[in-house]
Amino acid sequence: MTGQGGPIGASGPGAAGGAGGAGAAFAWGLFLASSWTWCIGMFLPILLLREWGWAGFAVFAIPNVLGCAGFGAVLDRGRAARLRARLAPCMAWFSLATIAFQTFFLSWASWRWIAPVLAPGAEPWSSWMVGAVVAAAPVLLVRRQESRAWVALGVVAWIGSMLLWSRTGVSSWSTVPAADGDLTALALLALPIAVGFLLCPALDLTFHRALEESPSRGSFAVFGLAFAPMILFAAATWGGAGPAVTSFVALQWFMQASFTAAAHAREVRERRIAGAPGEAGVVAAVLLGAVLGCPSLGGEPLYLRFLGLYGIVFPGLLLLGLRGRGGLLSAAFLVAAIPCYEAGFVGWGVGPETPTGPRLAWAPLVALGVLAGIVLPSRDNGRGAAAEPQRSAAG
């Protein structure tokens, strides 16, 4: 295994998840639905419902489902292999950031929402420590397993989430407010949100794993259908200003976020990609996420800043890498893009727990304009192969 576009399964495509065929493709689709159910899909809908009601949820859900299902429609094994050969280090860093994000969220949620419900009176710091340990354990302890076992875990996680949702119900949907927020701001933010959800799947190594080993790209159609109820479950946890956390919701958060983090840790460990840390990177990502989720640091503004990695940083690096724009141009883009994201999605003058300053919803469009100005001009350097991966990943 090289991680640079070569085989990623010892037994070859289609060997995992059973003897192949429709059943294996279906199982891979459920695996993908579990690996893509992050703390984004389980929590961001709450924030969007709070701000803009169902209109905000639609802006999140539609490109999210289309992006994950569209991966299999746009990429075949050959194109995906060429994409990995070109951007493997960026994909590894994407996985490490994802591990840190899941650990951060579970550590933060443990003292912010879960402990007050499940252990009233518990000290925030002790709740944080318990949550951090429980979140880190699957990532650090789960080692090499055959793809069949990973697919089975993904199927179990998806079924488990559906069973937990059946215990939660959808009664909270009737309390979602009308879209009384600034719909102009939502319209301005819709494009940056869509760009992130449509492009980030190209960097997800668990997607590449499924494309290589599933017997059919139909897995991604199953994926889209199976992922939709996951984010509807998140919307069902609406509780007004924040999530309505119960023991069922807490269990789903830990189950899904831990599975996502462990699946990405597997990719980083097994691929051994040059230019990216392996096991040391996984440990560092877990520790960083746990520390950032502690009571003195964790909060909604930091959650939103993590989202910026997937809303502007990684999509930008993907397009820049495909066009051969590196070095100073990438650095210039990040210098311009990160403050724009901060202004548009987080807001200036944020408090320790929730944003308190105004948001400039037009600012992320400036970052996209800078990106377009760098990426779109043609650059004929004699390497015509650059166009093919770009069409493959960006559609």
Beta strand segments in the chain, E: none
Residue 53 placed within a domain: yes
For residue 18, which phi and psi values (nearest 5 degrees)? 110, -165
Mean pLDDT of the chain: 87
CB of 333 closer than 8 Å to CB of 320: yes
pLDDT value, residue 183: 87
Instruction: Report the domain count for the chain.
Output: 1
Residue 28 placed within a domain: yes
* pLDDT range class, residue 329, cuts 50, 70, 90: confident
What does the pLDDT look like over 237-248, one tens digit per residue? Answer: 998 778 999 999
CA distances from residue 12 to 178, 210, 211, 269 in whole angstroms, order as listed: 51, 12, 12, 19
- Angle at CA 296, nearest 5°, toward 97 and 50? 70
> Count H helices, E strands: the chain?
16, 0
What does the pLDDT look like over 132-171, one tens digit per residue? Answer: 999 999 999 887 778 999 999 999 999 999 999 999 999 8
pLDDT value, residue 269: 93
Residue 97 lies in domain? 22-299
Looking at residue 202, the DSSP 8-state letter turns out to be G
Give the bridge partners for 243, in sequence order: 238
Q: What is the mean pLDDT of residues 38-49?
A: 94
* Least confident stretch, 15-24, 161-170, 176-185: 15-24
Count other C-beta atoms under 10 Å from residue 221's C-beta.
17
Q: Which helix (H) or strand (E) holds 178?
A: none
Determine the Cα–Cα distance for residues 322 and 329; give it in Å rounded to an integer.
13
The three state secondary structure string of 3-31 is CCCCCCCCCCCCCCCCCCCHHHHHHHHHH
Residue 322 placed within a domain: no
For residue 272, which phi and psi values (nearest 5 degrees)? 50, 60
Q: Is the dihedral of CA 99, 100, 101, 103 positive or negative?
A: positive
CB of 311 closer than 8 Å to CB of 345: yes
Q: Residues 6 or more apart from 90 whose CB is under 8 A from it?
A: 203, 314, 317, 318, 321
Residue 112 placed within a domain: yes
Q: What is the mean pLDDT of residues 329-352?
A: 81
Q: What is the mean pLDDT of residues 318-327?
A: 87
pLDDT value, residue 386: 44
pLDDT value, residue 17: 40
What does the pLDDT look like over 216-228, one tens digit per residue? Answer: 999 999 999 999 9
Residue 271 placed within a domain: yes
Closest Cα partner for 323 from 369, 367, 375?
Answer: 375
* Least confident stretch, 80-84, 96-100, 182-186, 312-316: 182-186
DSSP for 50-75?
A: HHHHHHHHHHHHHHHHHHHHHHHHH-
Residue 4 placed within a domain: no
Q: State the angle between helix axes of 22-35 and 205-213 in degrees (0 to 180), rounded to the nearest 10.
A: 180
Residue 65 placed within a domain: yes
Of the CA atoms within 13 Å of residue 260, those in its CB half-sphere come to 30
Residue 383 placed within a domain: no
pLDDT value, residue 293: 97
Determine the Cα–Cα distance for residues 192 and 205; give it in Å rounded to an integer.
23
Determine the Cα–Cα distance for residues 267 and 314; give it in Å rounded to an integer.
18
